[in-house]
Amino acid sequence: MDELTSLKIMIVDDDPTSRIILKSMLQREKIDVCLAFDGKMAIKVFNEEHPDIILMDVLMPLMNGYDATRIIKESAGDNLIPVIFLTALTDDDSLAKCVQAGGDDFMTKPYNPIILKSKIDAMERIRRLYATQKKQTDELRYYHQRMQREHAIAEKVYSGILYSGFLKVDNIKYILSPMAIFNGDLLLNVFKPYGKQIIMLGDFTGHGLSAAIGALPVSDIFNTMALKGFAINEIAAEINTKLKAILPTGMYLAACIVELDLQQERILYWNGGIPEALLVGKNGRIKTTLNSNHLPLGIVENDKIDFSPDILKIEENDRIYIYSDGIIEAANHEGKLFGTERLFDYFKEGADIENLFEDILKGVNQFRFGIGQSDDITMVEFTCSHGAASPDSEHHKNKVIMPENATLNWKITMELNPDMLRTMNLPTFLTGLLWATEVQGLQQHKTNIFIVLSELYTNALEHGILKLSSTLKKSPEGFLNYTLERKKALTTLNQGYIKANMELTQTKTGGKLTIYIEDSGDGFDFKKQAQLTVNENAMFGRGILILRSLCSELVFYGTGNKVEAVYVWQ
């Protein structure tokens, strides 16, 4: 009933005189009136006419006012239909019964028109207030349900596409509940080229969907760049640029990125705004903390953040614990926080390191027993070991699938000057490039290609540019001299160049790599070299033999300062 329709009142009375008096009284006030002669009829008229207020006599044939009121109130449900009892009875007991039956007020006969009008006005005010409030409650309930539904859908999208798949790895334990995702937490893991593994725990400001939205571009950037072998500082800078551009001021991403390099027994980390992560030894003790030394991402421009990572030595099977503030801010029923100290207490000599992660979670849940599940807790345990992805993880779906008959070909040309020759390792760079483009079928040829590139490059650099003689390497002692000479020559080098071309041609079943290297040196008598039989014990001259055995073509040009090698795979 809205304000535009006029008030409608039902009069229920078996006495015609009473009905007429009341009816004319109400009609003078421009109130619509409908009539019923007894309780039974009242129910029928109520259902047909939907009056707003009811004036109810008590004693009537067929059904009395109490019973009729009970039934009407029940069928009205949530809606407030005020019932004012009209009665000749004045004893307390009868009046109490009126209220028990669901009556809202009563009037004793004979009626005083002014008092009756006042009572109706008062009831109408209450009724309107109630109706407004009910409308708002209904709307709220509707929005709440709609939001819950949308959350459920988005939750499925997020947890399905972004998260779990990449985290099914045997050196990672984690908790990241859907609610945590909606609090803007995210956790990403990627195997980088050359056996490195990188993870990121992020925590957006604010809560709800708005906080979760930023997760999409972030995971996109992180996954793509990490797979291609980009370094922590490059990834963090790119995420910062993106977030600075898309997020409104006041929203940002606290993030801790850790890259594990087992080969060099170290981790690189960058922490902006995440509570101190822990490096824990095999004995269960905290070795050191990975503190937040930077602003979170998305607040200031790139030139105001230092993205260079810190380096920490680790031992195999050390563990790294990273957690968002949800865990230390978990509160119990007294409002006490779980806190850093309680968390650190778990890490002590002799702790059951294998089950530590589960023990901590259990501890947090027990601490806030009765407050609810650990809905917004995000924590990861990252063991410094060779992580292997489980077969159903997303990592295996991540390979580039070549469309049929498609060829992905590219060519790179470089020229290195003395400064570049001093600082850059060309074979590593070029194999890295090959690896990053995920050329299909090339993986098992990686070592061979690296050797080919190394031999060609070493030849050009050491003999061509630095003019070192292989005869130096005749004796084992000579080898040391050779490396010293090499270092000296390289440091003082001030002219010369190496040009390198690498061209990749792919086919459906394999591919071909053509490598061309040219140096500014004098070359060598390659015609004579080709006829030499090489003494197996010789400490030099093996390079070209190796090249010949690996490459399907090896051709020298010019004065011997230009060489082209072709490597083919199926």
In whole angstroms, how close is the CB of 342 to another protein at the nearest point? 14
Token pair in block for residue 268: 């690189």
In the complex, least distance from residue 274 CB atom to another protein, rounded to whole angstroms: 7
Two tokens at 266? 């170290």
CB 553 within 8 A of CB 566: yes
Nearer to another protein, 234 or 276 (CB): 276
Is the Cβ of residue 252 or residue 346 nearer to another protein in the bound state? 252
- On whether the CB atoms of residues 189 and 198 are closer than 8 A, the answer is yes
* Shortest Cβ 187–another protein spacing (Å): 17
CA–CA separation, 64 and 89 (whole Å):
13
26's enclosing H/E stretch is helix 16-28
Q: Which residue, 289 or 440, is less far from another protein as judged by CB?
A: 289
- Comparing CB distances to another protein, the nearer of 233 and 398 is 233
Q: CA 54, CA 85: separation in Å to the nearest integer? A: 8
- Please state the closest distance from residue 257 (CB atom) to another protein, in A: 15
Give the angle 250-251-254 at the CA atoms, nearest 5°. Answer: 120
> Angle of helix 39-49 relative to helix 65-76, nearest 10 degrees?
30
> How many angstroms separate the CA atoms of 472 and 541, rounded?
12
Which residue, 293 or 302, has its beta carbon nearer to another protein?
A: 293
Looking at residue 409, its amino acid is: N
Which residue, 178 or 206, has its beta carbon nearer to another protein?
206
* Least distance from another protein to the Cβ atom of residue 264, Å: 28
8 A C-beta contact, residue 65 and residue 58:
yes
CB of 186 to another protein, least distance (A): 14
Query: What's the min distance (Å) between Cβ of 240 and another protein?
Result: 13
Give the residue among 433, 566, 435 at the shortest CA–CA distance from 505. 566
Between the two ends of the chain, the Cα-to-Cα distance in Å is 79
Which strands form 53-57's sheet, in the order they lie side by side? 32-36, 8-12, 53-57, 83-87, 105-108
- In this complex, which beta carbon is closest to another protein, that of residue 296 or of residue 387? 296
Report in angstroms how near the CB of residue 92 gets to another protein at its nearest: 48
Minimum Å distance from CB 303 to another protein?
A: 12
**In whole angstroms, how close is the CB of 372 to another protein at the nearest point?**
18
Alpha carbon distance 63, 40 (integer Å): 6
**CB nearer another protein, residue 10 or residue 277:** 277
Name 113's Cβ contacts closer than 8 Å, sequence gap at least 6. Answer: 25
Residue 272 Cβ vs another protein, minimum distance, rounded to whole Å: 7
Query: What is the rounded distance in angstroms from the CA atom of residue 469 to the CA atom of residue 478?
Result: 11
CB of 277 to another protein, least distance (A): 11
Q: Which residue, 49 or 325, is less far from another protein as judged by CB? A: 325
Contact yes or no for 514/569 (Cβ under 8 A): no
Q: Which amino acid is at 207?
A: H
Which residues sit at the interface with another protein, rule CB under 8 A? 203, 205-207, 249-252, 254, 272-276, 292-296, 299-300, 325
Token digits for 369? 């027993």
Tokens coding 367: 């601490």
For another protein, the closer of residues 249 and 492 by Cβ is 249
Distance CA 68, CA 181 (A): 54
Q: Which is nearer to another protein, 331 or 388 (CB)?
A: 331
How far apart CA 406 and CA 440 sit, in angstroms, is 12
Whole-angstrom distance, CA of residue 58 vs CA of residue 90: 12
Nearer to another protein, 296 or 511 (CB): 296
For residue 166, count CB atoms less than 10 angstroms from its CB and return exposed for 0-12, middle for 13-18, buried for 19 or more.
Answer: buried
